[in-house]
Amino acid sequence: MADGKKVLISLPINFEQYMGTTKGILESNGFEVDDYWNDTGLPKEELIKLIEDKDGFIVGLDKIDEDVVKAGKKLKVLSKHGIGTDNINIPAATKHGVVVCNTPGSNSNAVADLALGLIICLARNIFEADTSVRKSDLTPYIGIELEGKTLGIIGLGHIGKKVALRARAFGMKVIADDPVLDNEFAVKNGIKYVSKEEIYKQSDFITIHTPLTNETHGLIKEKEITLMKDGCYIVNTARGGIVDEKALADALKSGKIAGAGIDVFSVEPPLADYVLFQAPNIVFSTHMGGSTPDAIKRAGELAAKNIINVINGKKPLNALNPETLEGYLK
């Protein structure tokens, strides 16, 4: 039973108003909840103190290294609020028998909406037009139509599929690359699997929906940009570090890349001398892909259920180190 067990929650400040059901689920299952609301993640020293007596932790922006994992003397499960777990040292958690979970699909609609929103914003110069109107200038900006254009999706998982469906509704041709093929989905929705190289060569727009791993870090660099169509657009709502920001800035300055929509950054928040601040034709957003009430609530509820399941000897929604479950499953 979960009676007497403790859970730590650390999430952005503006998430608190949507997390009531998450706390309710945990408390109704006998958990004591200790919650902290911050926009940077808890400082390591504070986190080490707080996690000492916790059985589970709903992780937001916190950096979870081996020191933190070792400090959790009772810790059994780290449950990420959302998808990306690049801030969690999974091998260290595995070494210490701690299950790491995330909540796939919880924010797919929200991130897909933002990705397509950035695509539309770039295609029709909406940001520039807004700036002009505020200067009493109604000179029309000449944009491009999406119908008939090719969208290349790197990562056709939960989010990538949602983006594909939205793009198809706009009459776009969709090509995609993913290590796991879902041929039934692709055939049903008129999507063609191709190599990354073909995505670079064929796409008018490229959108990235893959996790940040050792394999995807620096996935798009100068070499890959050279392969792209002149005037291609790039949208990244996945993770900073997947696109080489210096190479992208140079390509935007030269006109090789027509524009970019960037929601994520290699260093967050970006500093004043951030290289992309000096490049033209970029629309930025505040790493807000999953920030809708529905997505926040859904991710919180699923993150809570992951913790409850592990503590009660059941399989969580998605364990990223399933070898650790052997010590918990009944």
The per-residue pLDDT for range 50-81, each reduced to its tens digit, is 999 999 999 999 999 999 999 999 999 999 99
Residue among 3, 12, 23 nearest 289 (CA) = 12
Say whether 327 sits in a helix, a strand or coil.
Answer: helix
Average pLDDT over residues 154-177: 98
124 is catalytic: no
For residues 98 and 133, state if they share a domain. no
Compute the mean pLDDT over every residue in the chain, rounded to the nearest whole number.
96
**pLDDT, tens digit, 9 for 90 and up, residues 256-310:** 999 999 999 999 999 999 999 999 999 999 999 999 999 999 999 999 999 999 9
**215 CA to centre of own chain:** 16
Q: Is the pLDDT of residue 329 over 90?
A: no
For residues 123 and 200, state if they share a domain. yes
Q: What are phi and psi of 86, to 5 degrees?
A: -70, -15
Catalytic one of 81, 166, 209, 239: 239
For residues 18 and 127, state if they share a domain. no
Helices (H), the chain: 20-28, 44-50, 66-71, 90-95, 108-123, 126-133, 158-169, 183-188, 196-202, 222-227, 245-254, 293-311
Catalytic one of 16, 32, 52, 268: 268
Cα–Cα distance for residue pair 302/298, rounded to 1 Å:
6
Measured CA to CA in angstroms, residue 39 lies from 36, 67, 211 at distances of 10, 22, 21
Residue among 310, 326, 327 nearest 318 (CA) = 310
Q: Is the pLDDT of residue 44 over 80?
A: yes
* Residue 195: Cβ-neighbour burial (10 angstroms; 0-12, 13-18, 19+): exposed
| pLDDT in the model for residue 156 | 98
For residues 217 and 80, state if they share a domain. no
Of 1 and 27, more confident: 27
**DSSP β-bridge partners for residue 37:** 11
268 is catalytic: yes
For residues 25 and 132, state if they share a domain. no
239 is catalytic: yes
| pLDDT in the model for residue 284 | 98
Query: Is residue 161 within 8 Å of residue 144, measured between CB atoms?
Result: no
| pLDDT in the model for residue 3 | 55
For residues 130 and 257, state if they share a domain. yes
For residues 81 and 125, state if they share a domain. no
Residue among 258, 260, 227 nearest 245 (CA) = 260
For residues 100 and 112, state if they share a domain. no
Q: Is the pLDDT of residue 248 over 50?
A: yes
Q: What is the DSSP letter of 321?
A: S
Q: Please give the share of the chain, as a percent, with pLDDT higher than 90.
A: 97
Buried b (16+ CB within 10 A) or exposed e, 6-18: bbbbbbbeebeeb
Cα–Cα distance for residue pair 40/175, rounded to 1 Å:
36
Q: How confident is the model at residue 327 (pLDDT cuts 50, 70, 90)?
A: confident
For residues 277 and 307, state if they share a domain. no
Q: How confident is the model at residue 193 (pLDDT cuts 50, 70, 90)?
A: very high
The two structure tokens encoding residue 139: 């000179």
Average pLDDT over residues 4-18: 95
Catalytic one of 209, 287, 298, 301: 287
Average pLDDT over residues 193-201: 98
Of 3 and 19, more confident: 19
The CATH number of the domain holding residue 253 is 3.40.50.720
For residues 54 and 189, state if they share a domain. no
**pLDDT, tens digit, 9 for 90 and up, residues 125-158:** 999 999 999 999 999 999 999 999 999 999 999 9
**DSSP β-bridge partners for residue 153:** 176, 207
**pLDDT, tens digit, 9 for 90 and up, residues 73-128:** 999 999 999 999 999 999 999 999 999 999 999 999 999 999 999 999 999 999 99
Q: Is the pLDDT of residue 1 over 50?
A: no
The two structure tokens encoding residue 286: 């505040």
For residues 276 and 310, state if they share a domain. no
Average pLDDT over residues 200-219: 96
Structurally, the chain folds into a number of domains equal to 2
Cβ-Cβ contacts under 8 Å for 53 (sequence gap 6 or more): 6, 73, 74
For residues 257 and 142, state if they share a domain. yes
Q: What is the domain range of residue 253?
A: 108-284
Q: pTM of the full predicted structure? A: 0.91
